[in-house]
Amino acid sequence: MTGVVTDTVIRCRDVRKTYGDVHAVDGVTFEVGRGEIFGLLGPNGAGKTTTVEMLEGLRSPDGGSLEVLGIDVAAHPDALKERIGVTLQTAELYPKLTIVEVLDLFRSFYRRSLPTEQLIDFLDLGERRNGRTKELSGGQRQRLAVALALVNDPEVVFLDEPTTGLDPAARRSLWDLVEKLKAQGKTILLTTHYMEEAEALCDRLAIMDHGKVIEMGTVGEVVSRRFKERAVQFDRIEGLEDARLAAMTAVSSVKHDDGVVLLYTADVPATISDLLAATETLGLEASNLTVRRATLEDVFLDLTGRALRD
């Protein structure tokens, strides 16, 4: 376990969930401390949503233990629901009601709730307050979903792919919102398959694939543990085989991502000079040649052999 976690609010130990022959969640263990933004990162079908829904008390695990705010989730889901806030992947809710009506409806479910006006102000939904929810844009709808998750002023907020399908501006405004929640001291667990989202928001993250956690820690830790190297990338060149690329000076691995070749290397100048020599003998040129530090995207590609967005 990376990082010292004090005052743990989410504790997930060897959790398993099986559907038929499919191990959707296969022995997942992690902890989240109070006030942290923790990310579950992985491609579709990695088991992120199933894990989160077990923590929310919406699904029961087949094995392992889940504890949120000191409450055994499997044993007392109703006690937990008063104290957590949740968004699901689809945020379609009561299309015929207005924002104010939906917020008031959700407030009636909880013993303790924030004033509707405060929620509307915080989420910046004022101008649409009396608009039917079906008339909202994707970003506004997602903000309403977050507002509904905050109705009971929860200590822990679960956000399942909060920015999937949003345009860049709406995504950025939702990130700001998540930062505001962190500033209020809330603990946030979010799932995402966007690298830049995890890099921008998460204090710590766990990378999941095929129901397992394959890497965990801060973004910096995860990247540097996997890569001391940098990435040299260029558009794929016909006739330049992987075997030849791998044999170049200081190259540790060769990856392909959507027509782009990635050479991970500890010695950038040596690798590039080998590359240029090779292209020259072919009478070709390496186009869009760039050098960059390794990112989470590289980690993911390295771990799974697939790009995260696939």
Partner 1 sequence: MQALLSLTVANIKSFVRDRQALFWTLAFPLIFIFLFGAIFSGGSNKTKIGWADADGTPASAALHQVFQAVPVVELVEGTKDELLAKFQHGDVAGLVVVDPGYGAAVAAAQAGQGAPAQVAVYTDPSQSTSAGAVIGLVSGVLAQANLGNRPPSIVPTLLNLKTQDLNAVSYLVPSILGMSLMQLGIFSAIPLVGDRQKLILKRLSATPLRRWQLIGSNIIMRLIVGIAQTIIIVGIGALVFNVKITGSLFAVAGLALLGAVTFISLGYVVASFAKTEDSANGMVSAIQFPLMFLSGTFFPIDVMPSALQGVARFLPLTYLSDAMRQVMVNGAAFAPLAVCVAVLAGWAVVCFGISARFFKWV
Q: Minimum distance between the CB of residue 197 and partner 1, rounded to whole angstroms?
A: 21
Out of 20, 111, 168, 259, the residue judged to bind partner 1 by CB under 8 A? 111
Closest CA to 194 of 36, 40, 1, 4: 40
Residue 74 within binding range of partner 1, rule CB under 8 A: no
Closest CA to 159 of 181, 137, 138: 181
The Cβ of residue 184 has, within 10 Å, a number of other Cβ atoms equal to 11
With beta carbons less than 8 A apart as the criterion, state whether 46 and 207 touch.
no
**Segment interacting with partner 1 (CB under 8 A) among 1-9, 78-86, 174-182, 212-220:** 78-86
Out of 3, 75, 76, 90, the residue judged to bind partner 1 by CB under 8 A? 90
Residue 110 within binding range of partner 1, rule CB under 8 A: yes
Residue 162 within binding range of partner 1, rule CB under 8 A: no
What mask, x for binding partner 1 by CB under 8 A, covers residues 118 to 147? --------------x---------------
Out of 92, 167, 241, 280, the residue judged to bind partner 1 by CB under 8 A? 92
**Which pair of tokens denotes residue 3?**
């990082």
SS3 labels along 109-171? CCCCCCCHHHHHHHHCCHHHCCCEHHHCCHHHHHHHHHHHHHCCCCCEEEEECCCCCCCHHHH
| Residue whose entry in the numeric block shows the structure tokens 């690329």 | 245
Q: In what order do the strands lie in the sheet with 84-87?
A: 84-87, 156-160, 187-192, 37-41, 204-209, 212-217
Residues 30-59 that bind partner 1 (CB under 8 A): 56-59
Q: Minimum distance between the CB of residue 1 and partner 1, rounded to whole angstroms?
A: 28
Residue 81 within binding range of partner 1, rule CB under 8 A: yes
With beta carbons less than 8 A apart as the criterion, state whether 231 and 301 touch.
no
Q: Minimum distance between the CB of residue 182 and partner 1, rounded to whole angstroms?
A: 21
Residue 100 within binding range of partner 1, rule CB under 8 A: no
| Residues near partner 1, by CB under 8 A | 56-59, 78, 81-82, 84, 86, 88-90, 92-94, 96-97, 101-102, 104-106, 108-111, 132, 148
